[in-house]
C-alpha cells in the first residue's frame, strides 16, 4: 500500500456509519481525492477533531491499487479557519467555493493554481481581509481562467470592436457567446445581462496580476453588484445547474440587505 502525502483542503465531509467519515480533499499534489477516516467519529483522539470543512491539513493516505477511496492514516492541522466556521456569511461563501471545486474537478487531476486560489480566498475571508462579495468575484473570475472558460471582456463577441472603443457606457454580456456584445450587435443576442464598462475594467484588473494585489482593488457598489451577477450567472451557465450552496448564499444575501463591501 503506497503512501500519499500532500497539503490538502477539506471540501466535503460526510458521515459514514456510526464511526467513520468520508472526506473529499482538494490536494496540492493530486487534485481532488476521497478518503475514509476510520473511527474519526467514534473517537476524537484518533484525529483530534481536526477533520472539519475547509481546514488545511497535511495528510498521509494509503490506497489499494484497485480502489478509488483512500484510507486516511494521519492528518496534521495547518489552518482551521475559525474565522470562517464561526460566521454564517463567511461559511456560505467558503461552501460555495468548495462545492464549485468539487463539482468541476476530476478526481486525481493535479491543479496547483486552483489549489492556491482556493487556499488564498479562504485565508483572506478567514482573516476578514476581504468581504465575501469581493472574494467571490476574485475566485470566480480566476476560476474561469483556470477552468478554460474565461469570459471575453476585451471586445464585442460579434463585430470584434474593442471594449475601449465602444461609445456607450453600458454593454451586454451574452452567455451563449461567453462574451460582451456592443449595442449595435445586441439585437443578435438572446441570453444576456447588462453591465457598465467601469465594471468590466475592474473585473479585468482582478483577473490579472498577483492574487494579493487583486484582493485589494476597491470596487464601487455598482461593480460589486454587476460583477457578482455576471460571474455567478456565468459559472452556473457553464456548470449547467445552480448549486445548493449558491441558492443558500443568495438567500442570506437577501436577508442581509444591500451588498457589503
Ligand atoms: Zn458589436
Q: What is the pLDDT of residues 22-49, one digit of tens each?
A: 999 999 999 999 999 998 887 777 888 8
Alpha carbon of 25 to ligand 1 centroid (Å): 44
Domain spans in the chain, listed from the N-terminal domain onward:
3-80, 102-256
CATH annotation of 3-80: 2.40.50.140
Alpha carbon of 182 to ligand 1 centroid (Å): 4
Torsion angle of the four alpha carbons 173, 179, 181, 187, in this order, in degrees rounded to the nearest 10: -70
Alpha carbon of 161 to ligand 1 centroid (Å): 6
Q: Mean per-residue pLDDT for 58-74? A: 87
Fold for 102-256, please state it.
Answer: de novo design (two linked rop proteins) (1.20.1440)
Residue 261 has pLDDT above 50, yes or no: no
Alpha carbon of 200 to ligand 1 centroid (Å): 16
Alpha carbon of 165 to ligand 1 centroid (Å): 11
The pLDDT value given to residue 258: 56
**Cell 475547509 appears where?**
54
User: How far is Cα 202 from Cα 204, in angstroms, rounded to an integer?
Assistant: 5
pTM beyond 0.85: yes
Please answer whether residues 68 and 107 qualify as being in contact, where contact means their C-beta atoms are separated by less than 8 angstroms: yes
Alpha carbon of 197 to ligand 1 centroid (Å): 14
- Output the nine-digit C-alpha cell for 92: 456560505
Strands (DSSP E) found in the chain? 3-16, 20-27, 31-37, 56-62, 70-79, 170-174, 179-181, 192-196
Alpha carbon of 15 to ligand 1 centroid (Å): 52
Amino acid at each position: 500500500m503506497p503512501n500519499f502525502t500532500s497539503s490538502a483542503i477539506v471540501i466535503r465531509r460526510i458521515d459514514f456509519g456510526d464511526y467513520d467519515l468520508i472526506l473529499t480533499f482538494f490536494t496540492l499534489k493530486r487534485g481532488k481525492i476521497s478518503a475514509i477516516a476510520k473511527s474519526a467519529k467514534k473517537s476524537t483522539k484518533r484525529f483530534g477533531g481536526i477533520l472539519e470543512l475547509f481546514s488545511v491539513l497535511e495528510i498521509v493516505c494509503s490506497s489499494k491499487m484497485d480502489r478509488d477511496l483512500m484510507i486516511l492514516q494521519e492528518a496534521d492541522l495547518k489552518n482551521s479557519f475559525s474565522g470562517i466556521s464561526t460566521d454564517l456569511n463567511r461559511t456560505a461563501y467558503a461552501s460555495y467555493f468548495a462545492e464549485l471545486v468539487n463539482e468541476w474537478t476530476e478526481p486525481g487531476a493535479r491543479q496547483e493554481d486552483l489549489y492556491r486560489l482556493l487556499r488564498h480566498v479562504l485565508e483572506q475571508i478567514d482573516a476578514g481581509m476581504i468581504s465575501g462579495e469581493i472574494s467571490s468575484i476574485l475566485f470566480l473570475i480566476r476560476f474561469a481562467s483556470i477552468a478554460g472558460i474565461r469570459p471575453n471582456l476585451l471586445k464585442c463577441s460579434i463585430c470584434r470592436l474593442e471594449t475601449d472603443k465602444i461609445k456607450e457606457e453600458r454593454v451586454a454580456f451574452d452567455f451563449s457567446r461567453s462574451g460582451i456584445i456592443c449595442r449595435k450587435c445586441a439585437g443578435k443576442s438572446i441570453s444576456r445581462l447588462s453591465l457598465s464598462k467601469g465594471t468590466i475594467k475592474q473585473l479585468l484588473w482582478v483577473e490579472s496580476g498577483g492574487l494579493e494585489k487583486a484582493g485589494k482593488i476597491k470596487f464601487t457598489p455598482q461593480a460589486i453588484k454587476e460583477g457578482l451577477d455576471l460571474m455567478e450567472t456565468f459559472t452556473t451557465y457553464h456548470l449547467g445547474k445552480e448549486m445548493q450552496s449558491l441558492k443558500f448564499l443568495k438567500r442570506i444575501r437577501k436577508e442581509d440587505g444591500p451588498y457589503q463591501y
